[in-house]
Chain A
Amino acid sequence: MRLGLICLCLFFVAALMLSTGSARAQSDGSATFEALLVWGTNDAKTDPKFKPADPALAEKLKKSPFKWEHYFEMHRENVKLKLNEEQTIKMSRNCVISLTNLKDNQIKFELFGKGTLANTVTQSLPKGQLLVTGGDAENSTAWFVVLRRVE
């Protein structure tokens, strides 16, 4: 009898997980994104007020071809977008990004520097993936706008 109950429970758990997966796939397509403005530097002596970037993110950036050792989170924005919704987010005084949540986990990302469109990237951005836009900044440092899907 006990074995039968265990089997029954397993069946229900599997059914629940399958239904959850399909429900997720049939959701309204809304998604939450996290946009981070990150500063990269090799100078260890920085303002103590600066908040170090998420270690996992910093590790990923260090493993990339970037030459910087230290990464600081300067600004963070969480944006919830419905399907095909577009939103503009101010990341700094001169940096503005625009996000459009497209179908099939696609995202359209536009970056404006001083009001001028610098680049447009459209790609699939599932959870766990990063879209990093960066450039050189003064004193051999760099800036990054990191975009990732939260939900």
Chain B
Amino acid sequence: MTEEQQLKLQTFFDKELPEKEAREIASWLARDADATALHAELRNTRQALKGFEPELKVPESREFYWSKIKREIERSAPARAPAEQVSLFTSLRRFLLPLGAVATLALVGIITLHQFGGGVVRPVPVNAILADAGAFTYRDESQGMTVVWLSYPAEKKLADSPSPDTLPAK
């Protein structure tokens, strides 16, 4: 007997075959001893299973039964760890550490600003009104110096005068 024939027979046994095929199988069963034996085996197996299938019934209602399971799960779950006792010193340190970091950064920033003047050399606007036509203004940013150069009193008559214009009398 082939496997396909066995399956057909099982399908017939389960009454799942179309009528025409079912008649063919029935006819085949009448003729073939092996098929008849297999059919009988299937029948016996079904009866054996039906006879031993246990049907358990709980004494409580369904809701009460499951609520008992739920309570049991909750009871056996590990208890939460108690809150850690934090000392005053630890809390203070937790507060001071970031504060110290911020203070350090602020110090570094302030010192840098003081040392390097912000690191940016901004041009200084100079407003000069020169009475002397030969005078000029010069700005040296690298030296941080504004120079106003006057031709006065370079005029010969002033330079040659007995009293130098701006130098104190020696």
A contacts, CB < 8 Å to B: 1, 3-4, 6-8, 10-15, 17-18, 21, 37, 39, 47, 60, 63-65, 74-75, 91-95, 111, 113-114, 116-124, 128-138, 143, 145
Contact = CB atoms under 8 A, between A and B. Distances in A.
A136 B154 contact: yes
B97 to A, nearest CB: 6
A138 B152 contact: no
A121 B103 contact: no
B15 interface: no
Contacts of A113: 150, 152-153, 165-166
B37 interface: no
Contacts, number: 175
Given A114-B165, A121-B127, A122-B127, A7 B103 contact: yes
A129 B93 contact: no
Chain B CB within 10 Å — which of A74, A118, A133, A135 has the most?
A: A135
B149 A124 contact: no
Interface string B87-126: 0010011001101111110110010000001000000111
A14 B128 CA distance: 41
Given A120-B128, A121-B126, A6 B100 contact: yes
A17 B152 contact: no
B107 A10 contact: yes
A119 B106 contact: no
B110 to A, nearest CB: 5
A4 B92 contact: yes
A13 B103 contact: yes
B103 A134 contact: no
Contacts of B117: 128
B38 interface: no
